[in-house]
Chains A and B, each alone.
Chain A
Amino acid sequence: MIQETFSQGHSPIHNLTPRTRTLAAILLAFIIASCHELMPLLMALGGAIILIFTARLNLFKAGRRLLVIAGFLLLIWIVLPLTCGGPVIWQNSFLKIGQTGIDLALELTLKTSSMLLIFLALISTMSTADLAHALHSLKLPPKLVLLLLITYRYIFLIEDELQTMLRAAKIRNFQPGTSLHCYKTYANLLGMLFVRSAERAQRVHKAMLCRAFDGHFHSLTEYHNRPQDYCFLGFILILSVVIIIGEWQIVTLPAIF
């Protein structure tokens, strides 16, 4: 079941306008993505943790979201230390663990988890409809925003259709397995899902025509920044500057430009 687990809530973060949160999340994401050094990445992780607490997210549920990247992190922690060379830390007759790989794996771990936590704290705390309107106010093309709104609206319906069809297969004793019968059944089910969606799309288009739609999307939402929005943006700017300075102190200027 698709769920917006964190979108409802009361916290200083939930009180910010979606535009403020989106802007902050995008800014931080790109800054962190360009960092490589330990200090700024630790600061970013610190900032991310502060944001998670400020958003008053259920820590258990938020922690579970980190599992999304666990598989990938496990892979790089196994592979990179063995393959990247650098000063040898430990070795036996088969394996050699190198410093470069450990540094890289640590860097990726810090980056990935801080970016995920920031996304969780700032973006997952709004409904996707709000995100769409925020992106609209940040000048994403209106057609794309409309597409996002429609897609979001119908995923729940279509997921429901899919689940119901899977249940219908189940009550007819269908058991998934590695077999052509199984793949064929899934393919037919999905084919039916696509066909039903295309039919629905025709009806929806007609319904849009009935409401005088002519291709231009007008958003209802207007954002008015309040003091807390300015305060928060200020905080994010300071955090960004601190992270950038942290990165600069080690990397010489010409290397960045």
Chain B
Amino acid sequence: MHIAEGVLSGPVIAAGFAVTAVGVGIGLKKLDFEHIAETGILAATFFVASLVHVPVGPSSAHLILNGVIGLLLGWAAFPAIAVALLLQAVFFQFGGFTTLGVNTAIMALPAVVCFYLFAPLLKKPGKIASTAAFSCGLLAVFLSAVLLGGALYFSNENFFEVATIAISTHIPIMIIEGFITLFCIGFLKKVRPEMLP
């Protein structure tokens, strides 16, 4: 999920950089050197995983996974996502320098919110944890879609319909991300629970 360059207005670009600077700042501060390798390699995994296309009916969508990365990294999701997005810009021209702030905020802010909302619930027994994992995947994408829509709308009110379309096309993806997050967290819980918060 990203916004192409040239679409955003000056104030929105500035706001995006402000949020991202704060988030990356907190993330880097919390990132002691014990965890630099981990964050870098998980960022790489996040980058690669988001290239996976899953079938959605006759078409396909690529995964977003910011819910999972939020649960795994907490605030460090900010620098990790910023780096991954810069690499996406370099490799695929998804976004560029001016949109880096907004695009990072769109993905990382929901990741951190979901971390605070759902991380404590993952340790609870069966159903609660599963529901939390599913909601985490769903909500992270939903919030990202809303932020993306908002960034478009605040850039130019004429983007209202475009923003609405962008948000609504993400509805099936939210559900799929919910399931993927549910199963993925279930996997981690069985195989390497110490990775979860």
The answer to whether A and B come from one shared complex is: yes
A: which residues have CB within 8 A of B?
Answer: 2-4, 25-26, 29-30, 32-34, 65, 68-69, 72, 75-76, 79-80, 83-84, 100-101, 104, 108, 110-112, 114-116, 119-120, 123-124, 128, 131, 141, 143-144, 146-155, 157-159, 162, 176-178, 180, 182-184, 186-188, 190-195, 197-202, 204-205, 208, 213-215
Q: Which 3 A-B pairs have the closest CB atoms?
A: A111-B6, A191-B187, A150-B40
Does B26 make an interface contact (CB < 8 A)? Answer: no
Residues of B within 8 Å of A32, CB to CB, are 6
Main secondary structure of the interface of A (DSSP, over half): helix
| Number of B interface residues in the complex (CB < 8 A) | 73
* Shortest CB distance B181–A (Å): 8
Task: Give the total number of A-B pairs whose CB atoms are below 8 A apart.
Answer: 228
Contact of A68 among B44, B82, B92 (CB under 8 A): B92
Contact of A72 among B4, B82, B91, B161 (CB under 8 A): B4
Residues of B within 8 Å of A155, CB to CB, are 44, 47-48, 87
* Shortest CB distance B163–A (Å): 10
* Shortest CB distance B124–A (Å): 20
- The A-contacting residues of B in range 171-197, CB under 8 angstroms, are 176, 179-188, 191-192, 195
Instruction: Mark contacts of B22-43 with chain A using CB atoms, 8 A cut-off: 1 yes-contact digit, 0 otherwise.
Output: 0010001001111111111111
CA of A208 to CA of B31 in the docked complex: distance in angstroms? Answer: 16
Asked if A190 and B52 sit within 8 Å, CB to CB, the answer is yes
Asked if A108 and B180 sit within 8 Å, CB to CB, the answer is no
User: With A144-B83, A201-B37 in contact, is A183–B180 under 8 Å at CB?
Assistant: yes
* Shortest CB distance A200–B (Å): 6
